[in-house]
Structure 1
């Protein structure tokens, strides 16, 4: 289970923040149909420094490819704030394939239109991604899978407790 489910604020959480939290939680569960329901028909998904993916058909096709067996996505939401149709997130993402898990920090900006995500823009450090891959590869070689029970994600969880 993704911690994005467990960290929802108890009061005064704007509806747009809840949309983004539920969207990311659905992706972590590999429930692409539920995640896609939160997307605007004119969605633009931009992982900064990579090409922008535009339109519901293309974005949902890529999300379905990323939800294939053997691939994993998880997220820990550290902070989320929103107003006037904009939501900013600070989180740790985990991407996995086979025995390899890469964990890295991401700052996301979500622009909502009519209650749906119209722009999804993620910023991350390539250095952190490369570090996450190298640490994940070392864990895979030594038999430690990483992820929620070890490494950065567990350190972040311990800090909150």
Structure 2
């Protein structure tokens, strides 16, 4: 077997780069830049919640981010791409004032023609709820420690 037999095709890099650019735009709350990477017929799904069908519906959801959050981070742990399919394992961090809620997310993206056609995230509700309580407790603890 040659050294390059298992190499990932060049198109994988393009798909992976598209996903990285998309998540980076969300971290900056640059919703226009993120939207430019979405296909007009994109399907966005947080598994267990109703899916958003189309760029306009997805952008309506994404535009609520800067209104609801003071920060967002997508801390990438692993990213794997084969052709148009990109899989991510990451920790998403939602920030509201002093409260930071960090939870594990597995994402599946499909990229065609440089545009995301599918964005499906999986996360555990129990772990996310626990992260919310932990984030609130840390924020309260930091306020209590600051008092004389």
TM tier, smaller: 0.7 to 0.9
Tell me, in whole angstroms, the C-alpha distance in 1 between the residues paired with 2:115 and 2:106: 19
Contact kept, 8 Å, 1:76 with 1:93, in 2: the verdict is yes
After TM superposition, what 4+ stretches of structure 1 lie above 4 angstroms from structure 2?
none
User: Per-residue deviation at 1:13?
Assistant: 6.5
Once the two structures are superposed, residues 80-103 of structure 1 have per-residue CA deviations (whole angstroms, 9 ceiling, x without a partner) of: 011120000000000122222110
SS in 2 for 1:67: helix
Evaluate the alpha carbon distance shift between residue 50 and residue 70 of structure 1 in structure 2; reply closer, same or farther with a 3 A threshold: closer
Tell me, in whole angstroms, the C-alpha distance in 1 between the residues paired with 2:52 and 2:31: 16
1:48 and 2:47 are equivalent in the alignment = yes
Evaluate the alpha carbon distance shift between residue 127 and residue 69 of structure 1 in structure 2; reply closer, same or farther with a 3 A threshold: closer
Evaluate the alpha carbon distance shift between residue 129 and residue 118 of structure 1 in structure 2; reply closer, same or farther with a 3 A threshold: same
- Match for residue 22 of structure 1? 21
- Match for residue 60 of structure 2? 61
Contact kept, 8 Å, 2:69 with 2:94, in 1: the verdict is no
- Match for residue 111 of structure 1? 110
SS in 2 for 1:68: helix
- Match for residue 126 of structure 1? 125
- Match for residue 155 of structure 1? none
Q: Cα RMSD between the aligned structures? A: 1.9
Contact kept, 8 Å, 1:32 with 1:67, in 2: the verdict is no
1:33 and 2:32 are equivalent in the alignment = yes
Give the TM-score of the pair, scaled to structure 2: 0.84
Aligned residues: 134
SS in 1 for 2:67: coil
Give the TM-score of the pair, scaled to structure 1: 0.78
User: Per-residue deviation at 1:68?
Assistant: 2.2
